[in-house]
Structure 1
Amino acid sequence: MSADCCDTGATATHEDEHDERPRRLWQVRELRLAALSGLLAGAGFGADWLGAPTAGLVLHALAALAGGVTFVPGTLRALWRRRIGVSTLMTIALVGALVLGQVAEAAMLAFLFSISEALEDYSLARTRRGLRALLALVPERVTVLRDGRETVVSPGELRVGDRMLVRAGERVASDGIVVEGRSAVDTSAITGESMPVETGPGAEVFAGSINGTGVLTVEATATVADNSLAKVVRTVEDAQRRKGARQRLADRISRPLVPGVMVLAAFVAGLGALLGDPATWLERSLVVLVAAAPCALAISVPVTVIAAVGAATRLGVLVKGGAALETLGAVRTVALDKTGTLTRNAPTVVEVVPADGAETGQVLAVAAALESRSEHPLAAAILAAAPDPAPAHDVATVPGAGLEGTVDGTAARLGKPGWIPPGPLDGAVARLQDAGATVAVVEHGHRVLGVLGIRDDLRPEAVETVRALTRDGVRVAMLTGDNTRTATALAAEAGISEVHAELRPQDKATLVERLRGRRGTVAMVGDGVNDAPALATADVGIAMGAMGTDVAVETADVALLGTDLRHLPQALAHTRRARAIMLQNIGLSAAIVLALVPLAALGVLGLATVVFIHELAEVLVIGNGVRAGRLRALPGAAQASPVTADAPACACCAPGTEPAERRTLAARDR
């Protein structure tokens, strides 16, 4: 940013050109030079006070040189590329002050501008390093099983198909599938989940997770350079380049303002020549250059976006850039899918009601035979209640209704009460639906055998989440394809009064469009795949439980990496706060420019005073923007750990990364 505050294509700063490992504030080269400039300027004023003007002049000149080194070379490089920016204005003002003999004022300008630019660069690099702390969760060494022996390798040497041995307390180096062992895996640093996840053979684990008490053998499904952590960081860094409405507004104002300021300064100087006092008005034109420089305006939104997006990601909320951040902060209605979002997506058979002359086992056997090869979520519940059934023959799916086939040589059906009349079991169907269960009717030989009550319980945090959203002034609606009675019962249990049931995917999209027309900005929360039409139609689509799901991470505007629904109100509150900070920064930046320019043009304020006020405003804007990076972990969840001085700040610095791979990742990081 030093070379060109208003031009994102400007030459990279020292902070970008070098390794972005964490460093103390006083270790930043530009800040050390700014501090030297300040000491020399202070010594110069001391010499003037003691009656040694020559020594004071030399010290002020050295102060101007020390401060100017931090931004003048970058300005010249930008001019060589035909780019102008705020640093161009400051360089002209610095040179002009020296030519006019105002060496002390030049020293103050160089000192204050260099320190504000260094703080700006440091704050941006710091927020980016906070995001890349995710990559530091990869361990420095990995134990793999090769040729029947345990071998310790660096993460860069890990290949897809390698079997990693993860002992108790160790981190998983890359994404994989558990092939042996059972344990509880802590994913709080990645997804923000507060409770460890029980893991066993066939379960998926993600890079950076911490193994609990057991020993796991995990078959790697991705390299370190392409695992879920790397994809999330890459996605967010790409998304941070996308501009929201307020950032585009700031750009539209600041970009043409720089040449406009130069024209204004030339006009002031020309006016002085016409009035016969060119020296005074030339000095005023230099002060106008500084007063009207839109540096604070240019940085006001980017620093806020980067800080807010990075903080959210470290706690398991992936926000895809400034546009998504602003839209999410404006949401007033949230539409929640039922299955897998409000509920656990783990349905179980809670009751079997056989008809007269039938038995419970017979009802389950026929239902399980029809569902034996089905991938439907309800099939898993039925097969869990009646494992290892004899598969039915000639099974066909009737869309939106159920299944039909042949069991033991006799026609059989399993489906909704509306498709198969329950007959004398009408009362049982109504009772089960009123209790929030989905009902399936079983028919064999054109005779109703019985009904199954299958229930997918609410997530334990669902009630708390709905209550928090309502308390924050957000209207909540449930959207589901389930029957109205079941949906209404579950919604009442969760505290939701608005229910839209028996919807097909296209119906959900139509309903979201209708909600947008009536209530303004709408967010749709779903699984990122089945609810794709509604997610795409909403102002902001939020994918639930998206960690490791490429489709959800890539297509959603916002992705909750874990399955803790409490992250939803947390994300809404966080983005609302970030939007407010953006508005504060834009307002402060504009007010400073509007107030300083006329005072500078009329000669009320001198160069040193204007520089001090201008750069103080920039520091305030940066500090206010960094506040958007504050986000507390959910109760019971661990706060993401920052990168330590010895940990790699990006994947390209990871131990053992091959040279070609390292070059590729380094180019990506820049």
Structure 2
Amino acid sequence: MADACCGPDLNPPATTEAHENGQRLWQVRDLQIAAAAALLLAISWLVGHTGADTAATVVALFAAVIAASTFVPNTAANLRHGRIGVGTLMTIAAVGAIALGQITEAAMLGILFSIAEGLEHYAVTKTRRGLRALLALVPPTVSVLRGGREVRIAPDELTVGDRMLVRPGERAATDGTIAAGSTSLDLSAITGESVPVEAGPGDQLHAGVINGGGAIEVDVTARASDSSLARIVHIVEEAQDRKGSGQRLADRIARPLVPAIMVLAALVAAIGALLGDPMLWIERALVVLVAASPYALAISVPLSVVAAIGAASRNGALVKGGAALEELGRITVVALDKSGTLTAGAPEVIDVVTVPGTTREQALSAAAALESRSEHPLATAILAATETVDPADDVTAVAGHGLRGTHHGAALWLGKPGWVTPGPLAADVDRLQCDGATVVLVERGGVVIAAIAVRDQLRPEAPEAIRQLAALGIETAMLTGDNHRTAQALAEQAGIGTVHAELLPEDKARLLPEIARGRHIAMVGDGVNDAPALATANVGVAMGAMGTDVAIETADIALMGEDLRHLPQVLAHARHARAVMLQNIGLSLAIIGVLIPLAATGVLGLATVVFVHELAEVLVIANAIRAARTTPLPGQPENRRTTGPVHVSMPPPRDDLGDDCCASAPRPVAARIDRQ
């Protein structure tokens, strides 16, 4: 353990190569050394019982030296750079104990400290190895079609433009686009979701997914080292080094504590020497050094963060650092965007109402002329419903409202009611909105010609996810740029009580503090359109971010899968991890607070203090590993990777409402819905 409490390297140092290579507990170098020293100490005890005291002392001294070899060299190296830390305290205590003739106690100190270090290294290595196991999802070789024949190469030899051949049961070596063949893809190892996804030509394929159906040909779009899987591992490893507030709290306490302990021990020795036997008080001062060691405090939070982030990544959630993890554990309010988050993100045209003289095809053609230049989710639905598209000219997007341009010399507008006046179609617009549809109006030459109703279905798991959030005591709110009536209809199906509708992107960011009312709030969106709100919230969460650079970079948390139930799961996990951190900080400070006075007054000797203190460190390490545990919430599958989804029966959209069904609907921006 490097002396890392009073310098730039306050946190425990990165695991060494020797530790990284230790695949089993007994292969950890520190533990091997501790075992050898313990064996020598036992031999010393046996030799002492034969009456050979000198030989017993020599063997015990060897045990002390061997045990100290795990921390004394690092201490000396750090002292040369002006850094002092926990290892410094342990070195002084061990050397002092030997000088006072307490060789057995010095050996015990070194043995137990080495065990604590070894367990720490093992825990860190285990969690990081679990994360790096994601990279093992890449197969050792891959089939590619070159020169009209199939060849096997290493994934690192793949180049953009190569065509991979992925047979049933094989994993994809890198990202690509399916060029030929249809199949079902198992994404469980990446997103944590067990439901296979049907895929065919034109669909994206991510590194590490399993081809569960027929053979497919895939055009490579990224080198193996730049694949989505490699980026995930890289981002999470970087995130593990970012400090959370609890980790900074532990740092702030530990940094001045080490020199303060040394001053305290010196005062105990100096003042005690004036009152009595100097050797007695020097011994007590050495015991105080060990008793007040903040090693457990220094490792408590970083180890918990590493364990928790690694576990989250293996369950389809990228947590970008300890700060994000801790903040997520404080969340009591969640604001969710509607499109693509609460809904499936696959809107369809369900109705087209036109004025006399305009056909359905003409209306859709006019709308498609503008939408062909747009990336809005509604564009996909309208273009899919149109047979031929003749793009408009000078198309301009008006954020939060719609599109305008010119088509064959006529001004063409497409947008939400209010921005485009419904005119004679007002009653139809009301009816369609009451049915839960999003309505856009088409205006040509200053005259409205059609209303197009598009509906994006609620995710089937959304009601269950909202119930799970409520069970955690988390309040939910919907934010959408859609109209009140459509938003209300969807919120009632999902079970969300608070709706904020007809919002521009900047309105969502402005409303978050009002919704939070001093509480910690998370914003869940797509990571692109909701960027202002994601940045404003205490925690920004991107849904369905697999392979989306912008989403991963924008949000604090990125949920790789499309299942909304991952949200309450990661929130519960963060709460558990934060509780573990606070437990470790409390336990570490309590141990120090209890042992210092007992050591200073001579109630506890060096051997007892060493045992109690090192036992506390082992408890802290063991507790930190608990941060990696993920417990399924009620109603969730026990293991998403092997268990099928929980199917939720959704009520069909209401189609028995009259034209005036929403006549009394409130018009303010924020409307509270009474649950049935």
**What is the TM-score normalised by the length of structure 1?**
0.90
Q: Determine if the alignment matches structure 1 residue 505 to structure 2 residue 508.
A: no
What is the CA-CA distance between 1:514 and the residue it aligns to? 2.4
The residue number in structure 2 matching 1:32 is 32
After superposition, residues 588-667 of structure 1 pair within 5 angstroms as 588-632=587-631, 635=637, 637-638=640-641
What is the CA-CA distance between 1:271 and the residue it aligns to? 2.3
The alpha-carbon distance between structure 1 residues 158 and 7, as it changes in their structure 2 partners (threshold 3 A), is farther
Please give the alpha-carbon distance, in whole angstroms, between the structure 1 residues aligned to 2:481 and 2:48. Answer: 81
What is the CA-CA distance between 1:469 and the residue it aligns to? 0.9
What is the CA-CA distance between 1:77 and the residue it aligns to? 1.7
The amino acid across from 2:596 in the alignment is: V
Please give the alpha-carbon distance, in whole angstroms, between the structure 2 residues aligned to 1:178 and 1:263. Answer: 68
Most deviating of 327-336 and 70-79: 70-79
After superposition, residues 219-234 of structure 1 pair within 5 angstroms as 219-234=219-234
The alpha-carbon distance between structure 1 residues 372 and 440, as it changes in their structure 2 partners (threshold 3 A), is same
Most deviating of 616-625 and 337-346: 337-346
What is the CA-CA distance between 1:582 and the residue it aligns to? 0.8
**Partners of 2:5 and 2:84 within 8 A in 1:** no
The amino acid across from 1:543 in the alignment is: A
* Residue deviations 1:531-589 (CA, integer Å, cap 9, x gap): 11111111111111222222221231111122211111111111111111111101100
Q: Which has the higher contact order (CA 8 A, sep 6+)?
A: 1
**Partners of 1:336 and 1:524 within 8 A in 2:** yes
The residue number in structure 2 matching 1:304 is 304
- Secondary structure of 1:133's match? helix
Q: Determine if the alignment matches structure 1 residue 462 to structure 2 residue 462.
A: yes
The residue number in structure 1 matching 2:106 is 106
- Secondary structure of 2:562's match? coil
The residue number in structure 2 matching 1:476 is 476
Please give the alpha-carbon distance, in whole angstroms, between the structure 1 residues aligned to 2:591 and 2:445. Answer: 83
Please give the alpha-carbon distance, in whole angstroms, between the structure 1 residues aligned to 2:201 and 2:40. Answer: 67
Please give the alpha-carbon distance, in whole angstroms, between the structure 2 residues aligned to 1:440 and 1:415. Answer: 5
The alpha-carbon distance between structure 1 residues 175 and 70, as it changes in their structure 2 partners (threshold 3 A), is same
* Residue deviations 1:317-371 (CA, integer Å, cap 9, x gap): 1111111111111111111111111111111011233456665445444444554
Most deviating of 296-305 and 358-367: 358-367
The alpha-carbon distance between structure 1 residues 411 and 601, as it changes in their structure 2 partners (threshold 3 A), is closer
The amino acid across from 2:17 in the alignment is: E
The alpha-carbon distance between structure 1 residues 629 and 41, as it changes in their structure 2 partners (threshold 3 A), is same
The residue number in structure 1 matching 2:533 is 534
The alpha-carbon distance between structure 1 residues 119 and 410, as it changes in their structure 2 partners (threshold 3 A), is closer
* Residue deviations 1:565-621 (CA, integer Å, cap 9, x gap): 111111111111111111110110001011101111111111100000000000000
Please give the alpha-carbon distance, in whole angstroms, between the structure 1 residues aligned to 2:450 and 2:157. Answer: 58
What is the CA-CA distance between 1:449 and the residue it aligns to? 4.7
The residue number in structure 1 matching 2:65 is 65
**Partners of 2:412 and 2:444 within 8 A in 1:** yes
The alpha-carbon distance between structure 1 residues 406 and 291, as it changes in their structure 2 partners (threshold 3 A), is closer
Most deviating of 277-286 and 232-241: 232-241
- Root-mean-square deviation (CA, aligned residues, Å) is 2.5
* Residue deviations 1:402-461 (CA, integer Å, cap 9, x gap): 455677887665433334444454333222111210112345677655432210111111
**Partners of 2:305 and 2:577 within 8 A in 1:** yes
- Secondary structure of 1:184's match? strand
- Secondary structure of 2:20's match? coil
The alpha-carbon distance between structure 1 residues 504 and 253, as it changes in their structure 2 partners (threshold 3 A), is same
The alpha-carbon distance between structure 1 residues 244 and 366, as it changes in their structure 2 partners (threshold 3 A), is closer
Please give the alpha-carbon distance, in whole angstroms, between the structure 1 residues aligned to 2:297 and 2:11. Answer: 20
- Size of the alignment, in residue pairs? 639
The residue number in structure 1 matching 2:249 is 249
**Partners of 1:3 and 1:11 within 8 A in 2:** no
Gaps of 5+ in 2: 644-676
Seq. identity, %:
61
What is the CA-CA distance between 1:300 and the residue it aligns to? 0.8
What is the CA-CA distance between 1:14 and the residue it aligns to? 9.3
**Partners of 2:5 and 2:255 within 8 A in 1:** no
**Partners of 1:11 and 1:77 within 8 A in 2:** no
* Residue deviations 1:227-268 (CA, integer Å, cap 9, x gap): 222222222222222211111111111111111111111122
The amino acid across from 1:549 in the alignment is: T
The amino acid across from 1:380 in the alignment is: T
Most deviating of 354-363 and 187-196: 354-363
The amino acid across from 1:288 in the alignment is: V
Most deviating of 374-383 and 104-113: 374-383
Please give the alpha-carbon distance, in whole angstroms, between the structure 2 residues aligned to 1:459 and 1:515. Answer: 24
Please give the alpha-carbon distance, in whole angstroms, between the structure 2 residues aligned to 1:83 and 1:408. Answer: 76
**Partners of 2:67 and 2:111 within 8 A in 1:** yes
Please give the alpha-carbon distance, in whole angstroms, between the structure 2 residues aligned to 1:609 and 1:124. Answer: 28
**Partners of 1:527 and 1:545 within 8 A in 2:** yes
The residue number in structure 2 matching 1:42 is 42
**Partners of 1:235 and 1:320 within 8 A in 2:** yes
After superposition, residues 5-16 of structure 1 pair within 5 angstroms as 9=9, 15-16=15-16
Please give the alpha-carbon distance, in whole angstroms, between the structure 1 residues aligned to 2:140 and 2:310. Answer: 23
**What is the TM-score normalised by the length of structure 2?**
0.89
The alpha-carbon distance between structure 1 residues 445 and 514, as it changes in their structure 2 partners (threshold 3 A), is closer
The residue number in structure 2 matching 1:645 is none
- Secondary structure of 1:502's match? coil
Please give the alpha-carbon distance, in whole angstroms, between the structure 2 residues aligned to 1:394 and 1:110. Answer: 77
Please give the alpha-carbon distance, in whole angstroms, between the structure 1 residues aligned to 2:79 and 2:259. Answer: 13
The amino acid across from 1:575 in the alignment is: A
Q: Determine if the alignment matches structure 1 residue 493 to structure 2 residue 496.
A: no
The residue number in structure 2 matching 1:212 is 212
What is the CA-CA distance between 1:39 and the residue it aligns to? 2.0
